[in-house]
Each structure stands twice: as structure tokens, then as C-alpha cells.
Copies of this chain bind each other. A is one copy, B any other.
């Protein structure tokens, strides 16, 4: 039995902080990485919000940055309340512990259902939407056994393998990660399954705003959450170039275990899983293959430092000396369309790290910065 977690410690956001966090993450050009840098630089979401217009304009934005209003945030919180959902901030006790550790973890998660599932050690089970009967059966078997062993099963509520895994994990605990808002589940035929999940030992999770209809590009973003929440991901059946392989690749990038179920080379639904095996995924033919590999990992350690440093109250922002115009111009000119490491920019320009990060934030908020894997950045070439 893995360590389901003695009640975890964490920060607790005040209502006022939660509104500020929600406003900040819902504002234009603010993704999880920008959010983190803003809080780390300005000490709180509220201070960050107050400087956003100036930062964005200094970064060269062609028009005023759209900032979510207090009213917008209160309306979203009210929608959540009405639907029985709420928001968990990164660093709070209920935030999925493994997810906290990935780059670009969502600062706020909308959740609905049985909150303790979020801090259970979890395994992702994903696969083809057009699963074979035996694939669905296998997914269900693994999900049931993982549940009995104390793991929650995380998946994407899709047809096929996802559905089989969620359904078999209803008793043991399951997390459905949605690509759209919590009130926009997809596909429609799984709405009743989602209700069973949230009414029972399960949780629905989304980083997207209520009302957000999922588009194609939201699914890979969602898959990163499945991989991030999970200690390992089991891919049961997957075609080449499928979303399940994206989830597996992200799991590998996060240092999570990747399990793949072998299948006939003559069945296209197994081409992706067999490729994963060639790339070193763990050959998985029974639940013990998963349980044995996970055993040493199930006591996941909370990171020593908080990922986002917002203290209990607002400390009024850090002291910082903003760079002057010539320094700013030098930092911008060090950037180009080729992704570079931020440390290289600091070394190359000789500027203070805090000055470089601030200029990058300004460019980011002006929509002029691209962030790449491994912390690299490049200048967006607009025309």
C-alpha cells in the first residue's frame, strides 16, 4: 500500500489572494511560467496585477494588455461554487503533489468531486479511443488492481481506454482531467461517467476557465496534466502519432515511469505502444509489472522549497532596481528567433539576473516572447 499521504502541509490562500491569483492567470499573455516568474519577482499576484500594464507597455505591446477584473474572477468563483467546484492553488495542501513538481504546473486547478483523491499517489492509464475489446479489458484490469493497491487512476475521459480505466477505478479513486472548462466535458457520451466520478471517489480537474470549449490544441496541454499528476503512465493501446504517445513523452520528460502494453505488430492500435517499448518503456503484461516498478516511488517527497513563493500575506513586493532604457535595449538585442538559455543572456549582457528576468517578463506580457522546453526563450517574430 503506497503512502496515501498523511495530511499534507501547505500554504493556504486567503480569499483575496485567490481572487488575485485567478485574475492573474486569466489575464492575457499570462501562462503558468509567466505567472510563476511574476509572483517570484513581485512577491504577490496583487502587486503583479498592478504592474502588468506598465510591464506590457515597456515590453513593446501594440495595445493595452487585457487584465481579468475582480468582477470576472468573482463571477468565475461563483460559477464554480454553483457547480460544486472550487479552485486549489499550487502549494496548497490539496494540490496534487506530483503535479507541483513539473515545469509549467498550473497555479490554479478547478476541481470537483472528492478532494482526497488529488493527493493519493496516482497512475495514468491512457490509450486509443477506438480500443479493442481486449485492450479495454486490460485497461480495466490494471485500473482495478491499482485501485486495490491504493493508487488513484488518472486519465482523460476519452472514449475507449480512458473510459474503461475510469470506470474500473470508480471504487479505488480516479481523476478525470478535462481539456476544456469543468462545465464543458468532452465527449458528450461520457457526461454521465463524469457525474459518477465526481459523485463518488473521483475528481474532475481542469486548468481552463469555466465555459471554455476544448479545441484540438487544448488536448496536448491537458495530456501534460495527466502525465504531471501521475507517478507513471500506462499506455494500453496507441496508434503512431496519437495523443497517448504525447502523454507518454511528457511523462518521460517529467522523469515519470512509462509503461507500455505489447500488442500485435499487425494491429495499428499497437504500433504506438510497441514503439514505446523500443524506446525503453517498461513491458507491461499485468498489474504487478506496474506495482513493482512504482513501489520505490510511491512515497513522493514534497519539494523542499515552495514552487511559487507567495507568503501568507502580501510583503509589498521585493526591492528591485528596474533596468534603464539602454540596459533594456541591450537585453532585448541579445534575443532573436533562436531559443537561448536565460543564463546565457545574463552572462552575455552582464546584467543582473533580476533585470534580465524583468525584461523577459515585459516581453512575455507584450506577447513578444516564446518560452520553450528546458527554460529556453526566443523573440516572437511578428512581421
Q: Is A264 an interface residue (CB 8 A)?
A: yes
Q: Is A246 an interface residue (CB 8 A)?
A: no
A264 & B265 in contact (Cβ 8 Å cutoff): no
Given contacts A278-B283, A283-B277, contact A134 B266 (CB under 8 A): yes
Contact with B along A258-283 (1 / 0, CB 8 A): 00011111110011011001100001
Q: Is A286 an interface residue (CB 8 A)?
A: yes
A241-270 residues with Cβ-Cβ distance < 8 A to B are 261-267, 270
A262 & B277 in contact (Cβ 8 Å cutoff): yes
B261 & A265 in contact (Cβ 8 Å cutoff): yes
Q: Is A138 an interface residue (CB 8 A)?
A: yes
A262 & B270 in contact (Cβ 8 Å cutoff): yes
Tell me the bound Cα distance from A265 to B266 in angstroms.
Answer: 15
Residues in chain B near residue A284, CB distance under 8 A: 265
Q: Is A285 an interface residue (CB 8 A)?
A: yes
Contact with B along A128-168 (1 / 0, CB 8 A): 00000010011000000000000000000000000000000
Tell me the bound Cα distance from A277 to B273 in angstroms.
Answer: 13
A285 & B261 in contact (Cβ 8 Å cutoff): no
Tell me the bound Cα distance from A273 to B265 in angstroms.
Answer: 13
Tell me the bound Cα distance from A138 to B263 in angstroms.
Answer: 13
Q: Which of A138, A261, A263 has most B Cβ within 10 Å?
A: A263
Tell me the bound Cα distance from A273 to B261 in angstroms.
Answer: 13
Closest to A282 in B: B278
Contact with B along A212-242 (1 / 0, CB 8 A): 0000000000000000000000000000000
A137 & B266 in contact (Cβ 8 Å cutoff): yes
Q: How far is the CB of A133 from chain B (nearest CB, A)?
A: 9
Residues in chain B near residue A261, CB distance under 8 A: 265
Residues in chain B near residue A263, CB distance under 8 A: 262-264
Tell me the bound Cα distance from A207 to B230 in angstroms.
Answer: 56
Closest to A132 in B: B264
Residues in chain B near residue A278, CB distance under 8 A: 283, 285, 289
Task: Determine which of B262, B265, B277 lies in contact with A265 in the assembled complex, contact meaning CB atoms within 8 Å.
Answer: B262
Q: Which of A273, A283, A284 has most B Cβ within 10 Å?
A: A283
Residues in chain B near residue A138, CB distance under 8 A: 264-266
Tell me the bound Cα distance from A285 to B265 in angstroms.
Answer: 5
Contact with B along A278-316 (1 / 0, CB 8 A): 100001111001000000000000000000000000000
A92-143 residues with Cβ-Cβ distance < 8 A to B are 134, 137-138
Task: Determine which of B134, B270, B285 lies in contact with A274 in the assembled complex, contact meaning CB atoms within 8 Å.
Answer: B285
Tell me the bound Cα distance from A364 to B138 in angstroms.
Answer: 53
Closest to A275 in B: B285
Tell me the bound Cα distance from A123 to B138 in angstroms.
Answer: 34
Residues in chain B near residue A134, CB distance under 8 A: 264, 266-267
Q: How far is the CB of A281 from chain B (nearest CB, A)?
A: 10
Tell me the bound Cα distance from A271 to B283 in angstroms.
Answer: 12
- A/B interface sample: 15 pairs, CB < 8 A: A134-B264, A134-B266, A138-B264, A138-B266, A261-B265, A262-B262, A262-B265, A262-B273, A262-B274, A262-B283, A263-B263, A265-B284, A265-B285, A274-B283, A278-B285
Residues of A within 8 A of B (CB): 134, 137-138, 261-267, 270-271, 273-274, 277-278, 283-286, 289
Extra pairs beyond A134-B266, A278-B283 (15, CB < 8 Å): A134-B264, A137-B266, A138-B264, A261-B265, A262-B262, A262-B265, A262-B270, A262-B273, A262-B274, A263-B263, A263-B264, A265-B286, A271-B285, A277-B277, A278-B289
Closest 6 CB pairs of A and B: A262-B262, A265-B285, A277-B283, A278-B283, A134-B266, A274-B285
